[in-house]
Structure 1
Amino acid sequence: MGWACIEAAASGRTEHKPLAQDYPEDVVRRTAFTAGGGHGWRISALETPRPEPAPWKIVVITGAPSWAEYWAETLAELPPDREMIVVDRPGYGASEPLHPVTDIRVQAQALSPVLKAERGQKVLLVGQSYGAAIATLMAELNPGKVAGLVLLSGFFGEPGPTAKWLMDVGSKALKVIPRDLRHAVIEATGQKEQLVHAKRALARLNIPIHMLHGDKDDFAPIEVAERLAEETVTRRPIRFARVDGANHFLNDGPANELIAALEDCLPTRKAWTFRWPQMPKLALPRAANFFTPAAGRIEARI
């Protein structure tokens, strides 16, 4: 990914891999929306066009660097009864601004418009890596708009060995590395002290919460995510799913496997069956028995 970022910067592209070469516009297309929170930035994203709104809209908040095109295969393989939108977060790719947006609360405000859904449509919000904390804040900022939250390979302030090495090297070369890599290093090194906001939001949410994490993740250690799930007192239990043999980039594996994992996170409603109510049997007290059947006739009691 680092080489792709360098190559894109050298050629002046905002897309690190030209999307139109692989996918027609009716399968995956680039779109944009205006950032919320009064910021007014143009936020770029990739989406799956659908002739009619799908029952579920999957919104993906990517990590650092934030490159939506690395979800293109997943977008293309999505079934027709699902739709997905994946953002280039503020400060990355084709999104504004040109400077890094280091406050995760500002990122959450700016990205909140992407949660807009059509009538009857439900939203599954996915926060990947650095985007996990941002997605958590978005869910809290928008009560009633998010039906489920997925923290995918969540990065929570403690880097694994590979991420630590990249952050150390990047910090020493900030002036010469491309914009997206520079912003990623700045974001990752300044996230830890902001996590108090995300943890507070996580405890307040009253929606299904899922954590999906590869046990071979050397960017965001699975132990850190597990500890967060165990120590955070939430209104609903967090479902933690360990992905055996997977690394940090779950979207880089077979698309059908990731789609199946996300399907498992969709809240299911139990089948509803109508049953005609049964009237309770009435037993009249003896004092009210003015008429009693006897020998085939009605006899009045006096």
Structure 2
Amino acid sequence: MRVRRLLGSKKFWCCLVLLPFLLIGCASAYISMQPRFDHDEFAWRRSVATMAGQMYQLSYLEGGDPTGQRVIFVHGTPGDASNWYDMLKHAPTGYQFIAVDRPGFGQTRPENAQPSIMEQARALGPLITVPERGKPILVGHSLGGPVVAAAAMLYGDKLGGVIIAAGALDPDLEEVMWVQHLGATPPVSWLLQWEFRNANFELIALEDELRALAPRLRDIHIPVTIVHGTADELVPYANTDYMMREFSGTAPKLVTLEGGNHFLPWNARGPLLDAITEMASKLPATRLVPVQSR
């Protein structure tokens, strides 16, 4: 009966017809936001990670001093390593900045979606567990926020700290619209570019993934800095209340950007660099030796 009512609804058929155009419009808006990116300016690298029995070739960009303090940047959804172009271009002296293509995005292969936050975090392992490089700092934007939090659970003793920029961690604030489920169902899903199809799969699974992470957040005992804008309409500022409470075991620092929106990798380089350098200044001095990129 419900199906018959749905199929007889003009609103349903209007949404179905307009959905591809809506998704194309969103994709165009997202692409137009990207900075001009010279792919020859930074070196593309590969590392190999095994997740859930599957081998991934993790693609990433390097900028800055190869022997400096390592900082690993993790993008949101959709996105790729080039989202952090402005940060890599302005890496301070004595820092090595690395921006990854998360599984399901950019040049990382295979291209299939990997909605598991914990498996996404495991993919960072080869870049984290390099003893001669000291303890890296992780920076995660949007959905990259829970990924770096999960990495703190897996690799806490090997990390110098995590910075969560406009991070989505409160499961109670996640909402999946019915149109997203429609977008994940063939033939509609076939109309989407693979990165946007993967992003939709991630967002549909996100609430359950965050609830699975929640019991372990208080076990994190490395430094945590939260950077969030009060005018963020995509990931509400209210996420900070949840994070300040759940990260209580590590006395997190909150940096509030009054009037700031969601797109911090593009418009909040200064506050992010301040958070990175402040966190790095509290790490034990380590003599870093040059290592060949993997």
TM over 0.5: yes
Which amino acid counterpart does residue 90 of structure 2 have in structure 1?
Answer: E
- The structural deviation recorded for 1:18 is 7.7
- Deviations along 1:16-75, one digit per CA (max 9) or x if unpaired, are 888436x63xxx22111101445321111111153x511x21111211113110211110
Q: Please state whether the residue corresponding to 2:192 is helix, strand or coil.
A: coil
User: Which residue is 2:46 aligned to?
Assistant: 32
User: Which residue is 2:266 aligned to?
Assistant: 252
Change (3 A) 1:53 1:250: same
Change (3 A) 1:65 1:179: same
User: Which residue is 1:278 aligned to?
Assistant: none
Larger Rg: 1
Which amino acid counterpart does residue 32 of structure 1 have in structure 2?
Answer: R
Which amino acid counterpart does residue 183 of structure 1 have in structure 2?
Answer: N
Q: Please state whether the residue corresponding to 2:55 is helix, strand or coil.
A: coil
Counterpart CA distance in 1 for 2:133 and 2:192 is: 45
Counterpart CA distance in 2 for 1:249 and 1:125 is: 18
Which amino acid counterpart does residue 206 of structure 2 have in structure 1?
Answer: Q
| 2:38 aligns with one of 2, 16, 20 | 20
User: Which residue is 1:261 aligned to?
Assistant: 275
- Deviations along 1:57-99, one digit per CA (max 9) or x if unpaired, are 1111211113110211110111121111111100111111221
Counterpart CA distance in 2 for 1:42 and 1:212 is: 30
1:180-191 matches, within 5 Å, as: 180-191=195-206
CA contact (8 A) 1:210 1:239 kept: yes
Identity of aligned residues (%): 23
Q: Please state whether the residue corresponding to 1:65 is helix, strand or coil.
A: coil
User: Which residue is 1:53 aligned to?
Assistant: 67
Counterpart CA distance in 1 for 2:284 and 2:150 is: 29
Higher helix share: 2
CA contact (8 A) 2:128 2:135 kept: no
Which amino acid counterpart does residue 20 of structure 1 have in structure 2?
Answer: D
User: Which residue is 1:274 aligned to?
Assistant: none
Counterpart CA distance in 1 for 2:179 and 2:229 is: 20
Counterpart CA distance in 2 for 1:245 and 1:5 is: 21
Change (3 A) 1:228 1:6: closer
| 2:162 aligns with one of 124, 143, 149 | 149
- Deviations along 1:175-231, one digit per CA (max 9) or x if unpaired, are 31111111111101111112133223321111111111111111110112323322x
User: Which residue is 1:288 aligned to?
Assistant: none
- Deviations along 1:100-131, one digit per CA (max 9) or x if unpaired, are 11111221222221213452633111121111
Which amino acid counterpart does residue 203 of structure 2 have in structure 1?
Answer: A
| 1:75 aligns with one of 88, 91, 94 | 88
CA contact (8 A) 1:137 1:197 kept: no
Change (3 A) 1:247 1:177: same
Change (3 A) 1:254 1:128: closer
1:1-302 matches, within 5 Å, as: 2-3=27-28, 19-20=37-38, 24=41, 28-37=42-51, 39-50=54-65, 52-54=66-68, 56-117=69-130, 119=132, 121-156=134-169, 157=171, 167=180, 170=183, 173-230=188-245, 232=246, 234-253=248-267, 255-268=269-282
Q: Please state whether the residue corresponding to 1:42 is helix, strand or coil.
A: strand
Change (3 A) 1:146 1:197: farther
- Structure 2 unpaired stretches of 5+: 1-25, 286-294
- Does 1 or 2 have the higher relative contact order (CA < 8 Å, sep 6+)? 2
What is the RMSD of the two structures over their aligned residues, measured on CA atoms? Answer: 3.1
Counterpart CA distance in 1 for 2:167 and 2:182 is: 22
- Structure 1 unpaired stretches of 5+: 8-15, 272-302
